[in-house]
Amino acid sequence: MALRVKVGRVEDMELMSSEPVSPTAQYFNSSVLSLSVIGILEFENPFDDSSSLELINNVFLPINPRFSSIMVEDEEGGKHWKRVEVKAEDHMIVPNFPKGLSLESYDNYFNDYLSKIATKRLPQTKPLWEVHIIKYPTSNALGHVVFKLHHALGDGYSLMGALLSCLQRADNPSLPLTFPNFQKSIKADIESNKSLISVVPQALSGVINTVLDFGWSVLKTSILKDSQTPIRSGKEGVEFRPIDIMTMTFSLDQIKKIKCSLQVTVNDVVTGMIFLGTRLYMEEANDEDKNDHSNANVNATALVLLNTRSIGGYKSVDEMVQKQEALKLWGNQCAFLHIPLPKLGQYDPSLNTLKFVQETHTVIDRKKNSAAVYLNGMLLESLRKYRGPEATAKYINSSLKNSSMAVTNLIGPLEKMALVDQPVKGLYFMVLNSPQSLTVTVMSYMDQLRVAVGTERGLIDSEKFRICIEKAFSMMFNAAAESK
């Protein structure tokens, strides 16, 4: 099959041979912080890599000049993206596993391989990306392609948009991929249509929330650390320790039923499920009396990633690679919300899961009615100007390190995808090299939601954690059904 070469991409822009590196990209590729993202494609059949070089050269590289650039430093200490000649074969890796093993054995080899590439830094002497082709079957798929891309190239929105632009609809490649529109809940719509009388109280509460949230964020970064718990080791160098990555799948239809029952958003339901499952795991991981919820009620903070673009999600894949839109949407346009995990003890003795999700919704909703994210952005810019990008990266690293976990999500396509006519069975991603023991990512694909969990090996029992998340979902779904 001849690969299609899309036109109107960023490569058509009139760019200088050297483009300044954005401040955020410098933070994410510094001596104290080096974040990457991997996107894992699962295939229904063994993957045929005969067209891989052509795919990279004709489809992937033209998406953005950064895929053909390295980060260099000038005499004054400024960093730039410098275009270089790319040899696609230098970025492609095909590992060799033993032949004739069981699926369980290949699961272990695959997981160990992901852990290996997760803890290994991308070399700075060539463009900051790799493609790993795994030709061995696992319990989830008969073949895998793993894209590893440095966070300095862009955030998850940009990088997953780039990855998705290499794929087509499996049923009809001539049609574009489409994406779900997770609208606000009925309750949120009602709130937004209240009379103007509510504007002043809302503005006042927004000011108060901003002061409290910004102050708490600064304290969490500089002074206040989460305690050592079953999900946080607090050790130095966690970002380079081996990790385990496991996934679980949930029905989007069932999640939407919970959403409608609670009149919240899909993100509220998913975040509440993750928080509840995490608290259940913290309780299970203790050897104390299981009837005492206080075992799981140590203060814990999650950093929830917020997309700061003035859009709700992908309208189409092409918007990420079109000439004009790419300038506005590409890059690292994200921020973290510090969200305290609700405590199980608040809902003794029956653990009302609906109240737990409502508490999560209330906290996130209040955080959004705050300008703390923008004040934090201004603080980072001031740090960069007066103390330099390395000091700013250290500040961001402290914010991550002092919290217990990170949660981020992306919206995927509604239709089944294919890569050079090879159907994609599943898709998920993971953020790597964060100084945290627990990272959770969420991505929708077709009618399912894929939750991926990255855990510090030796600290968190990933299988037990999976069971706790699935238990939380079951509890929420049953409680929502009974509440009707």
Amino acid at 333: Q
Separation between Cα atoms, residue 361 and residue 476, nearest integer Å: 14
Mean pLDDT for the chain overall: 83
Separation between Cα atoms, residue 180 and residue 354, nearest integer Å: 25
Q: Which has the minimum average pLDDT: 278-282, 288-292, 349-353?
A: 288-292
Residue 184 has pLDDT above 60, yes or no: no
Reported as a pLDDT band with limits 50, 70 and 90, residue 105 is very high
- Average pLDDT for residues 23-37, to the nearest whole number? 90
Residue 193 has pLDDT above 60, yes or no: no
Instruction: Using a pLDDT cut of 70, give the percent of the chain over it.
Output: 82
Q: Which has the minimum average pLDDT: 321-335, 375-389, 450-464?
A: 321-335
Confidence at residue 450, expressed as pLDDT on a 0 to 100 scale: 96
- Model confidence over 39-98: pLDDT tens digits? 999 999 999 999 999 999 998 998 888 999 999 988 777 889 999 999 999 999 999 999
Instruction: Using a pLDDT cut of 90, give the percent of the chain over it.
Output: 47
226 token code pair: 């989460």
- Model confidence over 301-333: pLDDT tens digits? 999 887 655 545 555 556 555 545 555 666 666
Reported pTM:
0.87
Confidence at residue 102, expressed as pLDDT on a 0 to 100 scale: 96
Is residue 470 packed enough to be buried (19+ CB in 10 Å), middle (13-18) or exposed (0-12)? middle
- Average pLDDT for residues 334-358, to the nearest whole number? 74
- What are the helix (H) ranges across 87-238? 103-119, 156-164, 186-192, 199-222
List, in order of start, the domains of the chain with CATH numbers: 10-169 (3.30.559.10), 186-413+437-482 (3.30.559.30)
91 closest CA partner among 55, 41, 126, 119 = 126
Confidence at residue 334, expressed as pLDDT on a 0 to 100 scale: 66
Confidence at residue 38, expressed as pLDDT on a 0 to 100 scale: 95
- Model confidence over 127-147: pLDDT tens digits? 999 999 999 999 999 999 999
Confidence at residue 269, expressed as pLDDT on a 0 to 100 scale: 92
Confidence at residue 161, expressed as pLDDT on a 0 to 100 scale: 80
